[in-house]
A and B are shown apart, each in its own frame.
Chain A
Amino acid sequence: DAGVTQSPTHLIKTRGQQVTLRCSPKSGHDTVSWYQQALGQGPQFIFQYYEEEERQRGNFPDRFSGHQFPNYSSELNVNALLLGDSALYLCASSLPGSYEQYFGPGTRLTVT
């Protein structure tokens, strides 16, 4: 079992650019959540996808959007990047109603 995988591992972008991050959930999991973890902070919930729809959303602007595909994999898109978007972006997968979320290793995004 490959667990949750994320790509790319690292990414450097310039202010104003757009970025797409990718996540493949753990085998058998159909719910994907995305978190942003700034340096020295705990993860902050961005949104969650289930059945290809956004089910829950945290306090993030519309610049953050996502998508879930029929195979349950997911993308996180961030438009008009700001310096403050520099963080580790974590993807977590789970089964509906389960407390157990499995996190991927994250994508480290640096905005210059």
Chain B
Amino acid sequence: QKEVEQDPGPLSVPEGAIVSLNCTYSNSAFQYFMWYRQYSRKGPELLMYTYSSGNKEDGRFTAQVDKSSKYISLFIRDSQPSDSATYLCATDPSGNTGKLIFGQGTTLQVKP
């Protein structure tokens, strides 16, 4: 079993839709979770960071961690064509050491 699993998609939605991206993780001891966005031919950029459980909101983006089910989610409201990218979930098992474990990534296309 992979430590972080993510449906690769692709996911295609119309502009303005609410997007839900999800990952599961294997180890209940994981506490630090991140979402990265990667445009084609670019490096990943950090979107959201959460520690432990609960919700965190930043503009149109909301990150959610459900530790009971070992499930992390990223919601994008009012999706825009510029949101079209690959979204990667990640965890730092040892806690802010920088040794990240990434999911496979979900490719999102937002159609105008």
Interface residue ranges, A against B (CB under 8 Å): 4, 31, 33, 35, 40-45, 48, 56, 58, 90, 92, 94, 97-106
Contact of B44 among A41, A44, A90, A97 (CB under 8 A): A90
Within 8 A of A (CB), among B73-112: 88, 90, 92, 96-105
A40 to chain B, nearest CB (A): 7
Are B104 and A99 within 8 A (Cβ)?
no
Kindly list chain A residues whose C-beta atoms are within 8 Å of the C-beta of B49.
99-100
Kindly list chain B residues whose C-beta atoms are within 8 Å of the C-beta of A100.
46, 49
Within 8 A of A (CB), among B5-42: 6, 8, 32, 34, 36, 41-42
24 A-B contacts (beta carbon < 8 Å) = A35-B100, A40-B8, A41-B105, A42-B6, A42-B102, A42-B105, A43-B44, A43-B88, A45-B100, A48-B98, A56-B97, A58-B99, A90-B43, A92-B98, A94-B98, A98-B98, A99-B32, A101-B98, A102-B46, A103-B36, A104-B43, A105-B41, A105-B42, A106-B42
Kindly list chain B residues whose C-beta atoms are within 8 Å of the C-beta of A58.
99
